Amino acid sequence: MDDYCVGIDLGTINSVLAYLDGNGDPEVDKGQDGSVVVPSSILFTDMGKIIGSKAEAQARIEGYSNFSSGFKRQMGTKYTRTIMSSTYTPTEMSALVLRKMLLRFEANHGAMPTKAVLSVPGDYGVPERQATIQAGRIAGLEAIELINEPTAACISYCRENRFREGNLIIFDLGGGTFDASVIKVSNNKFSVLANEGSRNLGGKDWNLHLANIIQRKIIDAYGMTQKEADRNSKMRRDIAAEARRVKELLTVRNRVTDTININGMPVTYTVRREEFEDATHELNLRLTTMMLNAVRSAGLRERDISKVVMTGGESQISAMMRYVDDALPTVRTDIYEPFTSMAKGSALYADSVFSDGNIVVEPVLSKTLGIKAGVDGNETIYNVVFRSTPLPITPEAVFRPKRDDQKTLELEVYETKANPGTYYTGLPYGFMIKRFEIPLSGKISRGRTKINVRFAADVNGLIQMFVECNGHAIECDMSNGMNMLPAQIMQSKKKVVNVI
């Protein structure tokens, strides 16, 4: 077989690629050392771009000035980073990680995949989804589809556990993002009823709290001041690495005692599980609150939920399942393949999408879309179509000109988290996707001429907008000013070379 369709979970901390074996079962592609994950980390060197665990190991020795990780949280933004005289966007750095996985697959199977389903957080809006597709193109993929990470995990869970009918909550806590999706399963049909989440809440936040606990203990034991600790960048990096390791140990131990070398001196510290759980109590509550909001947004009650499926690389954090069980005490909770469920589900969906399979996914709009409007003399966001609306959609709103003979219409399109029925949102609570200045045609009468604004969202959650006035229609580019032209993609491909 030389025409592989693959599924890729492009994660904040780790990334995974899966494919279907000869029996049609999802299989995770592995490195020479047997590892199933590729750490989403890059070390830029004179010899090339080192990706994954080798990048992390070498950075611990050589330093972190040319090291990058965690860039998934900046996807779809204008953030850039200049390293070794070259400037990289989060999209280009993500493309490097994708390229590493594709090259590893080619080395293992003798074929380079050109078709893939990429999983993305359910909370991703338009800019982040566009950036992910562009990363895939820069990495060399030709045909790309997106699937929300919780939906991909749901497909894999149902296949492996022969779950055929019911409502599942997919509780997906990754290294940098969180989603709680309510999904109705009917054989091979997966209908997303609601999604709540955050692109800025994940295991990294638990690591930070634990690192603060460890640092306070080391400061006390070593006898240094807080200012001295803040200036010691090597110590902070070492403590951050310790926090990740100790967090894993606290899932199976009540306390962890260890020694860390500070300025050549061994310092011993002890962290109790209770300390860690107390420090992260509010974070855990945020997760379960979003999960319950998703159930309410889906119009369901606790008795309507068949199971909670916890997945994602951070789903095994100490006390996490207890919080979920306390929030939904009558619902059974399963932990399912934290590191590989999204990639496996994406591979199953890829086979269906590119080979006319029988998996049907009905996604929902991740964010409410609105337009800035004047109401009673105040500027606000008028919400046109609400999140959790099933895709695809073509909603429409009617606006009126402010004055006679108006020549242009200024439109600002926003994403918000407004719930259905909340038609107005304050400007500070929205994220502006793009501003437009649209020429108007024909005779314009204040308060009388109709200006029709229509959105169109496809199953990938990508948006188009059309404005019609006096029979003249204009299609508006919703790329947030960051959509890459073919020439720009070719230019970025030149940076995604010498991948080690």
**pLDDT tens-place string over residues 34-54:** 999 999 999 999 999 999 999
- Alpha-carbon gap, residue 430 to 426, rounded angstroms: 7
What's phi and psi for 17, nearest 5 deg? -120, 135
Average pLDDT score over residue span 383-409: 86
- Alpha-carbon gap, residue 375 to 37, rounded angstroms: 51
CB contact at 8 A, 94 and 71? yes
Long-range CB contacts for residues 269-276, cutoff 8 Å, separation at least 24: 269/214, 269/217, 269/218, 269/221, 270/217, 271/210, 271/213, 271/214, 271/217, 271/246, 273/318, 273/319, 275/213, 276/209, 276/210, 276/213, 276/247, 276/250, 276/318
What percentage of the chain has pLDDT greater than the value 70?
A: 98
Q: Is the pLDDT of residue 114 over 90?
A: yes
Mean pLDDT of the chain: 91
User: Looking at the DSSP assignment, which residues form a beta bridge with residue 50?
Assistant: 43
Residue 339, amino acid: F
Name the most confidently modeled range: 313-317, 347-351, 455-459. Answer: 347-351
What percentage of the chain has pLDDT greater than the value 90?
A: 62
Q: Is the pLDDT of residue 2 over 70?
A: no
Structure letter (DSSP) for residue 141: -
The strand order across the sheet containing 360-362 reads: 332-335, 307-311, 165-173, 178-186, 189-198, 360-362
- Alpha-carbon gap, residue 492 to 500, rounded angstroms: 18
Rounded to an integer, what is the distance from CA 362 to the centroid of its chain?
A: 19
Q: Tell me how long the chain is.
A: 500
pLDDT at residue number 197: 92
pLDDT at residue number 377: 63
Q: Is the pLDDT of residue 232 over 80?
A: yes
Alpha helices, DSSP H only, in 110-202? 126-139, 149-161
Name the most confidently modeled range: 286-300, 381-395, 455-469. Answer: 286-300
User: Looking at the DSSP assignment, which residues form a beta bridge with residue 151?
Assistant: none
Helix axes 281-297, 320-327, angle to 10 degrees: 40
Q: Is the pLDDT of residue 460 over 80?
A: yes
pLDDT at residue number 437: 86
pLDDT at residue number 440: 84
Q: Is the pLDDT of residue 296 over 60?
A: yes
Structure letter (DSSP) for residue 355: T
Q: Where does the pLDDT of residue 482 fall: very low under 50, low under 70, confident under 90, or very high at 90 and above?
A: low
Question: What count of other Cβ atoms lies within 10 Å of the Cβ of residue 172?
Answer: 33
Answer with the residue of higher pLDDT: 1 or 69.
69
Answer with the residue of higher pLDDT: 4 or 282.
282
Average pLDDT score over residue span 461-466: 85
Least confident range from 63-72, 211-220, 464-473: namely 464-473
Residue of 166, 194, 200, 201 lying closest to 180 (CA atoms): 194
Q: Where does the pLDDT of residue 282 fall: very low under 50, low under 70, confident under 90, or very high at 90 and above?
A: very high
Residue of 6, 4, 23, 24 lying closest to 15 (CA atoms): 6
pLDDT at residue number 399: 83
Look up tokens 């929030």; give the residue: 327
Name the most confidently modeled range: 287-301, 309-323, 466-480. Answer: 287-301
Integer angstrom CA distances of residue 417 from 191, 424, 435, 472, 478:
20, 11, 19, 32, 19
Average pLDDT score over residue span 456-482: 81
Q: Is the pLDDT of residue 30 over 80?
A: yes
Average pLDDT score over residue span 207-228: 90
CB contact at 8 A, 332 and 267? no
Rounded to an integer, what is the distance from CA 150 to the centroid of its chain?
A: 10
Q: Where does the pLDDT of residue 448 fall: very low under 50, low under 70, confident under 90, or very high at 90 and above?
A: confident
Q: Is the pLDDT of residue 413 over 80?
A: yes
Name the 3-class secondary structure at 179: strand
Angle CA 364–367–372, to nearest 5: 135
